[in-house]
Structure 1
Amino acid sequence: MTLHSFPRKVACRTFPLTLKGPTRVWFGSLALESTDNFRELARMFQIELMASRRRKRFAAYLITIKQGKDKSLKTYISRFNKECMTTDDQDENITLTTLLGRVCPQSQFMSELARRTQAMLREFMDQANNFINVEDTRWALTKSIRK
């Protein structure tokens, strides 16, 4: 919510409407008249919520994520992408190398990679998505046959 050209009093009264989740709970727990001005409220806000801030990880953390023998490529890629969003210093070559190195060696996708390994992350992701689509289609077809 952006309030341009409104008196400060209006901006201060509408501030709580912009809060969600834990910040709204924190604000609601403040004692009445616990602060005299907005600057003090902002300082209290920063102190309280800095501890709950999500920390970024080093890119080396991605090495800990691997595709398990019984896990699908879809699950592995999804988890890897989620964890990738929490890391700093993302380098495309390091990300690609990590992804390649943590694919389950016994998986069918690894066999496909052995035939044609991609040199760019985007190409790898396209190859993985194509493989996932084939896996999903095969699963859907075999599921309908069993019924």
Structure 2
Amino acid sequence: MYDESKDPLKHLETFKAHMTLHDFSRKIACQVFPLTLKGVVRGWFGALQLSSIDSFEELGRQLMIQFKANRRRRRPPAYLLTVKQRGDESLKAYLTKCNKERVMAYDWGEKISPAALLGGVWPIYSFMTELGDPKTKVLYILDSH
């Protein structure tokens, strides 16, 4: 279901993928699409003038124009270097946050991600000490392969 709090492009792409996967025609897609809308977006759709949209592509364009401000912007890879662990944040919470931010970065590459991850750990020295401990699971797993 799509409401104004989500990315309209992601919703359109997901919807099109489902329609293509199940081999539905564009006409059926236009008829079914309103069922995936809720709240303000459904109200917007209901307010469209009859016959003002003549194709699913036009419906998609109109949706994007109306809800463009709700699109999520991808961040440059260098943004990952600004993500830091807060003093009261657990390592697990920090890793979760880093992963969410990495997904939002475009073309992040394999080299910047580990550098950003390690550079944002607070305090860095206790983390490095923990990694150096032979009892640490991460090193145990790496050594066993």
Q: Settle same-fold status: TM greater than 0.5.
A: yes
Match of 2:35 among 17, 33, 58: 17
Structure 2 residue aligned with 1:37: 54
User: What's the TM-score, normalizing by structure 2?
Assistant: 0.62
Residues 67, 103 of structure 1: 8 Å contact kept: yes
SS in 2 for 1:51: helix
Identity fraction in percent: 42
Q: Among 53, 75, 98, which residue is 2:116 paired with?
A: 98
Alignment RMSD: 3.2
Structure 1: which 4+ aligned runs deviate by more than 6 Å?
Answer: none
How many pairs does the alignment contain? 117
Partner AA of 1:74 in structure 2? K
Q: Deviations over 1:76-108 (max 9, x none)?
A: 111111111110111112110111111113663
Instruction: Specify every segment of 5 or more residues in structure 1 that has no aligned partner in the other structure, as ranges.
Output: 117-125, 131-147
TM score, norm. by length of structure 1: 0.61
Structure 1 CA distance for aligned equivalents of residues 26 and 94 of structure 2: 52
Larger RCO (CA within 8 A; separation ≥ 6) = 2
Deviation at 1:45, TM superposition (A): 1.9
Selected match of 2:138 from 112, 127, 131: 127
Q: Does 1:85 align with 2:103?
A: yes
Q: Distance in 1 between matches of 2:92 and 2:32?
A: 44
Q: List gaps (5 residues or longer) in structure 2.
A: 1-17
Deviations 1:125-145 (A, max 9, x none): x739x9xxxxxxxxxxxxxxx
